[in-house]
Amino acid sequence: MRQLEEKEIKELIETALTQRNFSYAPYSQFRVGAALLAKNNQIFTGCNVENAAYSPGNCAERTAFFKAVSEGVREFDAICVVGGKEEKLTDFAAPCGVCRQVMMEFCEPDFTIILATDTENFQCFSLKELLPMGFGPKNLD
Ligand code: THU
C-alpha cells in the first residue's frame, strides 16, 4: 500500500465534499460524495444518483469506480467517502456492502477507505478491515 500523505488525504476529502454538492438524492435526502485516487494519481469523483424506481439508484463510490474503469483505469490506492442528510456532516458514511464488493474486484486488501466529515475529522480503514474474508477475482483462479 502506498502511504498517503496528510496533504493528499485532505485533498481527497475536499474533492469528495465538493462532489457531494452534485448528489441527486430527492428520495433519501442522504447526499454522498466520493473521491477515488488511482495509482496513476488521477482522482475520479462520484456522487449518489437516485431514481424514482428506487433500485436503479447508484452509490457515490460505485459512480466513481465505474467512471474510472470506463476510462481504462483499474488500479487504485484510496477512496474518500463523505455523506449525510445535513449540510454540515456529523457522522461518517461507511460504504454499503455492494460498494465494498466492487472495491474487492479492483483493489488490494490494503486499499485505503477514508471516511470523513471534514478535513479535520477523518478515519482511515483498509478494505480488508471493512470486508473481511471477501470473495474476489482470486477466488476464481
Ligand atoms: N449511499 C451511497 O452513495 N454510498 C454509501 O456508501 C451508502 C449509501 C447512497 C445510496 C442512496 O442514494 C442514499 O445514500 C441512501 O441510502
Considering only the C-alpha atoms of the chain, give the largest distance between any 2 of them, rounded to a whole number of Å.
45
Residue bearing cell 488521477: 42
Cell of 45: 469523483
C-alpha 92 to ligand 1 mean position (Å): 12
What pLDDT was estimated at residue 28? 98
Most informative mutation of 20, 32, 89 for ligand 1 (most atoms within 8 A of CB): 32
What global pTM score does this model have? Answer: 0.97
Q: In angstroms, rounded to a whole number, what is the distance separating the alpha carbons of residues 71 and 80?
A: 20
Positions annotated as catalytic residues are 61
Task: Tell me the per-residue pLDDT of 20-35, one tens digit each, with 9 for 90 and over.
Answer: 999 999 999 999 999 9
Quote the Cα angle for 72-103-99, to 5°: 115
Task: Tell me the per-residue pLDDT of 50-103, one tens digit each, with 9 for 90 and over.
Answer: 999 999 999 999 999 999 999 999 999 999 999 999 999 999 999 999 999 999
Quickly state the pLDDT bin for 1 (edges 50, 70, 90). low
| Ligand 1 atom at minimal distance to the Cα of residue 49 | 12
